[in-house]
């Protein structure tokens, strides 16, 4: 379904220059806020990625965005014509930036067309869909990467390293929160409030950053999760999704994590790790820019390991290195699947009102 051009989009004043001959040509599927405001402008900074095609349900947007990015007229596809990309050799890969409930279907179609897939987070709305996507990638012998940009962002990379080096000692407590207050809306106006397109809501969309942080900062998988959800009555925003999701995890080391996410409280995005010798405070933790990080303890200091803006191109570079040179993908489909298993465990625990025990791969034991 075509959507209008978001109001705040700044299209390039001149089409991007040509890239080297081994540059990977992408078809961007879904010309929404994230594609137009964040990722498409960042292709310029990637070493060997370029926008070869666009796919949209809005013909006017196809024209304006296509002209601005110098996309050939015959490489501007409607969703109905998507299958034709199979014979378009300008396209090596498909970047899926659609509402989450559509990721699985379009990734599988892209693999059927013989293309590699970079898929926005979260990978899909169920572990079963993630498994279907991984199977389709293997069948087609094409790469699958989930766009978890924090794995390419200097603050989060430094935080992973510090926690591996036990800079705060043995990790005991992790707390994460990702929240913002959504304005008045309803499922018919905004896909983020539709269960079919957004699952339970804030956890899949924003809280997944806290879920990811808890995993890569501890380097562990939880062995049990207990959770609770809340959905206020009579609020159109939460007719189909949750307003808040809160979960408590226990790791095999004995560390515990508390993860909170909300679409109905004032904005924040932090990750705190407290260990036996100190603490790591990331606030904001996983934004597009403006990260702040402080290591507290014997040698308390603020850390500024680099510019967060490199995360977007870094992600594209990892993907194109995988496509062209067989490099290892840091955020593969298996990681997206693992995370959906944890999301399912959180909802299962909240639904049952009891603790859920997990196997090391995130599958529920009970």
* Minimum CB distance to ligand NDP, residue 277 (Å): 32
What's the CA gap between 195 and 125, in Å, rounded?
A: 9
* Minimum CB distance to ligand NDP, residue 150 (Å): 9
Residue given tokens 């024209």 in the structure block: 63
Q: Does 319 bind ligand NDP (CB under 6 A)?
A: no
* Minimum CB distance to ligand NDP, residue 198 (Å): 8
Q: Does 333 bind ligand NDP (CB under 6 A)?
A: no
From the list 166, 146, 292, the residue with the least C-alpha distance to 217 is: 166
What's the CA gap between 213 and 131, in Å, rounded?
A: 23
* CA-based R_g, the chain, Å: 20
Catalytic (active site) residue 216: no
List the one residue from 147, 203, 217, 257 that touches ligand NDP (CB under 6 A): 147
DSSP string, 173-210: EEEEEEEEE--S--TTT-GGG-HHHHTTSHIIIIIHHH
Residue number, 97 or 167, with CB nearest to ligand NDP: 97
Q: Does 2 bind ligand NDP (CB under 6 A)?
A: yes
**Per-residue x/- mask for ligand NDP, residues 84 to 123, rule CB under 6 A?**
-------------xxxx-x-----------------xx--
Catalytic (active site) residue 121: yes
- With a CB cutoff of 8 Å and minimum separation 6, the contacts of 344 are 126, 127, 364
* Minimum CB distance to ligand NDP, residue 111 (Å): 18
* Minimum CB distance to ligand NDP, residue 141 (Å): 25
3-state SS, residue 52: strand
3-state SS, residue 92: coil
The counts of H helices and E strands in the chain are 11, 15
Q: Which of residues 206-225 bind ligand NDP (CB under 6 A)?
A: none
* Minimum CB distance to ligand NDP, residue 298 (Å): 35
The tally of CA atoms less than 13 A away on the side-chain side of residue 263 is 28
Piece of 27-35, 82-90, 271-279, 355-363 that binds ligand NDP (CB under 6 A): 27-35
What angle do the packed helices 103-112 and 127-140 form, to 10 degrees?
10
Residue number, 22 or 189, with CB nearest to ligand NDP: 189
The catalytic residue among 69, 95, 209, 263 is: 209
**Per-residue x/- mask for ligand NDP, residues 32 to 71, rule CB under 6 A?**
xxxx--------------------xxx--x----------
From the list 207, 288, 190, the residue with the least C-alpha distance to 247 is: 207
Catalytic residue list: 121, 209
Binding stretches for ligand NDP (CB under 6 A): 1-3, 30-35, 56-58, 61, 97-100, 102, 120-121, 147, 149, 191, 205
């Amino acid at each position: 379904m075509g959507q209008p051009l978001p109001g705040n989009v700044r299209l390039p004043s001149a089409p991007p220059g040509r890239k080297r001959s081994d540059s990977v040509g992408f078809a961007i599927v879904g010309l929404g806020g994230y594609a137009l405001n964040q990722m498409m402008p960042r292709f310029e900074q990637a070493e060997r990625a370029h926008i070869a095609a666009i796919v949209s349900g809005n013909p006017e947007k196809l024209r304006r965005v296509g002209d601005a990015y110098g996309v050939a007229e015959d490489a501007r596809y409607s969703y109905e014509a998507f299958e034709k990309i199979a014979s378009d050799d300008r396209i090596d890969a498909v970047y899926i930036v659609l509402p989450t409930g559509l990721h699985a279907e379009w990734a599988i179609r892209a693999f059927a067309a013989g293309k590699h897939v970079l898929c926005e987070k979260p990978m899909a709305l169920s572990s079963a869909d993630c498994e279907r996507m991984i199977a389709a990638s293997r069948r087609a012998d094409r790469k699958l990467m989930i766009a978890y940009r924090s794995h390419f962002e200097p603050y989060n990379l430094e935080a992973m390293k510090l926690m591996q080096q036990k800079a705060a000692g043995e990790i005991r407590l992790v707390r994460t929160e990702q929240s913002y207050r959504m304005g008045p809306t309803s499922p018919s106006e905004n896909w983020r409030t539709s269960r079919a397109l957004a699952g339970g809501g804030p956890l899949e969309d924003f809280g997944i950053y806290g879920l990811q942080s808890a995993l890569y900062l501890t380097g562990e998988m939880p062995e049990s999760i207990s959770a609770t959800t809340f959905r206020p009555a009579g609020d159109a925003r939460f007719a189909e999704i949750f307003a808040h999701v809160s979960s408590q995890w226990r790791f095999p080391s004995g560390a515990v994590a508390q993860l909170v996410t909300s679409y109905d409280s004032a904005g924040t995005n932090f990750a705190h790790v407290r260990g036996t010798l100190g603490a790591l405070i990331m606030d904001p933790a996983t934004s597009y820019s403006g990260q702040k990080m402080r290591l507290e303890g014997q040698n308390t200091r603020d850390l500024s390991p680099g510019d967060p803006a490199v995360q977007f191109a870094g992600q594209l570079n990892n993907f194109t290195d995988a496509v062209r040179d067989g490099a290892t993908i840091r955020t593969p489909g298996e990681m997206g699947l693992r995370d959906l298993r944890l999301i399912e465990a959180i909802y299962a625990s909240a639904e049952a009102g009891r603790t859920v025990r997990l196997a090391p791969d995130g599958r529920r034991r009970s």
